[in-house]
Structure 1
Amino acid sequence: MRRLAPYQTGLWLAEYVDIRCQLCRVYRSTAPSQLLSSHLSPDAPPIADSMLTDIYRGKVARYIHRHLSRGLLCAHCHHGITWLPKPFRVDIAAGSALGIQASTFYDYPIRQAIRAFKHDEDMSKLPLLLHAIRQLPRPHGCHHDNAVIVAMPTTPQRLVKRGFDPVSILAVQLSKHWQIPLWQGVRRIDHTVSQQGLTRAERLSNLNNAFVLTETPPVKRLLLFDDVATTGASLQALGRALYKPATNTASASSLPTNRYHLSAYALAHGSQYR
């Protein structure tokens, strides 16, 4: 029997057992289907059962969803954080740009939750971040057979220092939500330093040749994911490495450089107050 990571048990308890909102702790949390319905116009068609079964599979999971699930946030807190930022683009090659879509703005309370999760390993913030990730629009036409999620890789040194990889944990949850597998065919080179506190020019310089492909991507659609896209420099560098696989892997030397369709997603970006 496969063992669950400690944070997975906490997420299960937060979503299916705890009836209080994970943010305000005052109001009852609201089921995801009800939150989704509130975004639809009165003339919109009803939510198809298939949309729910993409997340809750199997008879037991459907029973839990129908009878126990309360969601993670109340409707009031949900509407307070789910202001979807406008997508933005960064150049990855001549005549080619990478579109980046974030799930929410990098404002309170998301900013504080991300910092506590990343730097203090505060897993109590994970339910809030998971709720925000679920607001990302599913990539049109992507499914488990034609697309993979590429999480922003970290270095072994940072992994040892931090003790866990926050982006990978978030990417696993996004993979489960979209039912699209993760792919770990990119390695981050160790000489780069942390991006925090750097200007955009310094970020780009720091990330030159920071990523190397260790294998050929298995599908054409690559969905890049990072936790925070401050300027998009990290996703831009990763996109450049994936856009031209022939320069990184000998096995891909015969592949055209424009073979892959790239799009990028992040948990948070920018501020709605600027």
Structure 2
Amino acid sequence: MPRLAPYQTGIWLAEYLYVRCQLCRTYRSIPQSELRKHASPSHIEHSTNASATFEPSLNNSTFANIRHRISHRLNKGLLCADCHNSIIWLPKSFEVDIAAGTSLTIQAATYYDYPMRQAIRSFKHHEDMTKLPLLLHAIRQLPRPHGCYHNNSVIIAMPTTDQRLIKRGFDPVSILSAQLSKHWHIPLWHGVRRIDDTISQQGLTRAERLSNLDSAFALISKPPVKRLLLFDDVSTTGASLQALARALISTEITETMNPKHQNGYRVSAYALAHGSQ
């Protein structure tokens, strides 16, 4: 992703230099005034002599306290506690069928509701990078799947078509999945291509979504591992993730004809938000 570096820089600035909540803009944790109280102890005596100099008499415990508070502030997240509690409700996972006797579990980080809906739309349709830190905060609420690590799992982002990429100018799901990859320490795998003859899923019924996604994905290569973690920005009915999983499962079914095949793929899906568009 040649445009990923500027996005990463913006996130770093929001996380470590801009200490206000990305939603309400109040301080995320400790106000600067509180830090200044420790940096300028009240017991320091100011001399009236202009030539006089002094050193702040801070002991080791005071410095340790300041470092602890700063570290706590930087690790607090990108939202204040009130905003975090108001929007981060991990929705209950749901399942969709992908093959006979096989279902796909989909887990989202939050609901597709105010203010996340507006933030996702601004980022996705208008390339508003100021909303990315808020979306990143939500993504970080997704716990890494049990037993999944960098050497046995890959993240597969919902691919977009070349036509949509040219029209939009960037791929929002790729940017979000890169942040999930960093959060989970699990690599991305770009072995699936999306066919250009499908239309946008937004506004379609579930039946129309499923019909629209028939043969929408083609595998470029065989997945390198057995743990496949699918990711999309918004999951409404789960039709897109369902079709992507089916494309992977169809490859697995073909492989089972090989007597050397022993273990099938373990596929699960994740999304930034869940709800109706």
**Structure 1 counterpart of 2:195:** 189
Provide, for residues 204-235 of structure 1, a one-character-per-residue CA deviation record: whole Å limited to 9, x for no partner.
Answer: 00000100110000000000000000110000
Q: Which residue of 2 aligns with 1:6?
A: 6
**CA RMSD of superposed structures (Å):** 2.4
Q: Is the 8 A contact 1:147 1:180 kept in 2?
A: yes
Correspondence for 1:96: 102
Q: CA deviation at 1:20?
A: 0.4
The one of 137, 143, 149 aligned to 2:149: 143
- Residue 71 of structure 1, aligned match among 50, 60, 77: 77
Deviation, 1:71, is: 2.6
- Offset at 1:8? 1.1
Query: Does the 8 Å contact 1:245/1:257 carry over to 2?
Result: no
Tell me: CA distance 1:234–1:163, structure 2 relative to 1, closer, same or farther (3 Å). Answer: same
The residue type paired with residue 27 of structure 2 is: Y
Residues 214-269 of structure 1: CA distance to partner in whole angstroms, max 9, x if unpaired? 00000000000000001100000000001121578xx9973759710000000000
The alignment's TM-score, normalised by the length of structure 2, stands at: 0.80
- Corresponding residue of 1:35: none
Q: Which residue pairs with 1:58 in the alignment?
A: none
Matched, 1:263 2:268: yes
Give the aligned residue type for 1:12: W
Q: Distance in 1 between matches of 2:171 and 2:161?
A: 10
What CA distance in whole angstroms lies between the structure 1 residues aligned with 2:237 and 2:263?
Answer: 24
Query: Deviations for 1:188-213, whole angstroms, at most 9, x for unmatched residues?
Result: 01100000110000000000010011
Which of 109, 115, 119 aligns to 1:109? It is 115
Structure 2 unmatched runs, 5+: 31-67
Cα separation, 2, equivalents of 1:262 and 1:234: 14
Against the structure 1 CA distance between its residues 218 and 83, is the aligned structure 2 distance closer, same or farther, given a 3 Å change threshold? same
Corresponding residue number in structure 1 for 2:208: 202
- How many Å separate the matches in 2 of 1:111 and 1:184? 27
Q: Which amino acid aligns with 2:103?
A: A
Give 1:95's aligned amino acid: G
Matches of 1:257 and 1:106, distance apart in 2: 39
Deviation of 1:270 after TM superposition, in Å, equals 2.1
1:21 aligns with 2:21: yes
Matches within 5 A, 1:12-91: 12-29=12-29, 66=71, 69=74, 70-91=76-97
Work out whether residues 252 and 265 of structure 2, in 8 Å CA contact, stay in contact via their aligned partners in 1.
no
Q: What is the DSSP-based 3-state SS (H/G/I as helix, E as strand, rest coil) of the residue aligned with 2:193? A: strand
Report the structure number with the largest CA radius of gyration: 2
Note closer, same or farther for the CA distance 1:72–1:233 as it changes in structure 2 (3 Å cut): same
For residue 66 of structure 1, report the CA deviation from its aligned partner.
3.1
Q: 2:127 aligns with which of 121, 124, 131?
A: 121
Match of 1:217 in 2: 223
Q: Distance in 2 between matches of 1:198 and 1:191?
A: 16
In 1, the alpha carbon distance for the partners of 2:167 and 2:250 equals 31
Tell me, what secondary structure is at the counterpart of 2:107? strand
Q: What secondary structure does 2:210 align onto?
A: helix
Sequence identity of aligned pairs in percent? 73
CA distance, structure 2, for counterparts of residue 267 and residue 147 of structure 1: 19
**1:154 is matched with which residue?**
160
Q: Secondary structure in 2 aligned to 1:5?
A: helix
CA distance in 1, matches of 2:104, 2:261: 18
- Cα 1:112/1:29, change in 2 over 3 Å: farther
Q: Which residue of 2 aligns with 1:178?
A: 184
Q: 2:179 is aligned with what amino acid?
A: Q
The residue identity in structure 2 corresponding to 1:27 is: Y
- Post-superposition offset of 1:92: 0.3
Which amino acid letter does the alignment assign opposite residue 192 of structure 1? T
